[in-house]
Amino acid sequence: MLILGIDTSCDDTAASVVENGHKIISNVVSSQNEIHKKYGGIVPELASRRHLEMIMPVVDEAMSRANAKFKDISAIAVSKGPGLIGSLLVGVCFAKSLSFVKKIPLVAINHLEGHIFSIFLEEKPEFPFLALVVSGGHTSVYKVSAFGQYIELGRTRDDAAGEAYDKVAKLLGFGYPGGPIMDTIAEKGDANAIVFPRGLLKESFDVSFSGLKTAVLNHVRKYPESKKEDIAASFQSAVIDVLIKRALACATENKLKNIVLSGGVAANSALRKQLVKKALDQDIRVYLSSLYLCTDNAAMIAVAGFYHFKNNDLADFSLNPKAFLPLGSANG
């Protein structure tokens, strides 16, 4: 069974054809990095305009690389949220039109559900598992008992981890997108050079990254001669420390022996290495996706689409995107 996945939730226009919920037949991602680079961050209006230009060529390319015809496609799965509303609108409107014209069933996917299920393109973790979703827009920990059954155990109260990476990279003059650049520069620095605050909230499993961001700003102002590599490494150490402590505490409390790491920040080399090592000490297994499946893509949307379609959970043409869409909520 072939599912066509479409994702335009943020600044990548993506389409993919996936067979039986796990085998990638084609996977096309058109990045907008060059457009947003000069502004040091994503400009929502420019993002949606570029999606408009790219959605048709990207879907065409995914279909032709898959050597597929629309009659071969069992369902079209599209991200309905969360994300930038203008960007989401392009994908949702396109998917609805295609579904109408080609008479192909439509499935609406929560983008975060896609991130969690991207692992099924490469491995098959056993339920229940803990999902740590760390991206530019989200940082949450979920207990995943089965497909469609999610309980949020903790979340960020302010900035997402990726957002903190991007803002600190901008502050240090590293350019955009900040996460991957910081990852490389941090390798050359001393992670113990500066002790930045760890935003671990006491009364819950929630975390916070805005204090860390301010601490970096204050440090740069106070010690302008401080080595940027050391600042990057010390910042990264604080972020990773918080994420790993939270994930392991949630896993232990909920007796979960598998952790699935996903979202753009899951591509971070230090986070991957340290999480695997520290989890192993507690006899917990960590599932990591290949780097190209951590960041936004439509193959992960097609995987989630496969399970929704099998459950006959179809969308109709009243489907509208939602910028705010918590996973596990009534319509999430």
Interface mask toward Zn ion for 293-322; x: CB under 5 A = ---x--------------------------
Residue type, 54: M
Does position 113 interact with ligand KG4 (CB under 6 A)? The reply is no
Q: Which of 177, 129, 168, 137 is nearest to 155 (CA)?
A: 137
In angstroms, what is the minimal distance from the CB of 8 to Zn ion?
11
Does position 326 interact with ligand KG4 (CB under 6 A)? The reply is no
Query: Which residue's CB is nearer to Zn ion, number 135 or number 208?
Result: 135
Specify the stretch interacting with Zn ion by CB under 5 A; choose among 48-56, 122-130, 131-139, 204-212: 131-139
Pick one of 48, 135, 234, 237: the residue that binds ligand KG4 (CB under 6 A): 135
Size of the site for Zn ion (CB under 5 A): 2
Does position 81 interact with ligand KG4 (CB under 6 A)? The reply is no
Tokens representing 23 are 């085998």
Pick one of 118, 135, 139, 268: the residue that binds Zn ion (CB under 5 A): 135
Does position 179 interact with ligand KG4 (CB under 6 A)? The reply is yes
- Quote the DSSP letter at residue 268: -
- Say if residues 160 and 134 touch (Cβ distance below 8 Å): yes
In angstroms, what is the minimal distance from the CB of 169 to ligand KG4?
7
Does position 12 interact with Zn ion (CB under 5 A)? The reply is no
Does position 279 interact with ligand KG4 (CB under 6 A)? The reply is no
Does position 189 interact with ligand KG4 (CB under 6 A)? The reply is no
Beta bridge partners of 326: none
Report the sign of the C-alpha dihedral through residues 38, 293, 82, 270, in that order. negative
Q: Which residue intervals of 66-190 are DSSP H helices?
A: 85-102, 111-117, 161-171, 178-186
Pick one of 267, 293, 304, 325: the residue that binds ligand KG4 (CB under 6 A): 267
Does position 263 interact with ligand KG4 (CB under 6 A)? The reply is yes
Query: Which residue's CB is nearer to ligand KG4, number 73 or number 169?
Result: 169
- Say if residues 323 and 296 touch (Cβ distance below 8 Å): no
Query: Which residue's CB is nearer to ligand KG4, number 171 or number 314?
Result: 171
- Say if residues 136 and 166 touch (Cβ distance below 8 Å): yes
Tokens representing 246 are 């939270």
Q: How far apart are CA 193 and CA 239, in angstroms?
A: 15
Query: Which residue's CB is nearer to ligand KG4, number 40 or number 105?
Result: 40
Q: Which residue's CB atom is positioned nearest to ligand KG4?
A: 264
With a CB cutoff of 8 Å and minimum separation 6, the contacts of 292 are 27, 29
Query: Which residue's CB is nearer to Zn ion, number 159 or number 296?
Result: 296
Q: Which of 79, 207, 212 is nearest to 140 (CA)?
A: 207
CA distances from 215 to 47, 243, 251, 283 (A): 31, 18, 29, 34
Residue type, 102: K
Pick one of 139, 232, 295, 327: the residue that binds ligand KG4 (CB under 6 A): 295
Does position 5 interact with ligand KG4 (CB under 6 A)? The reply is no
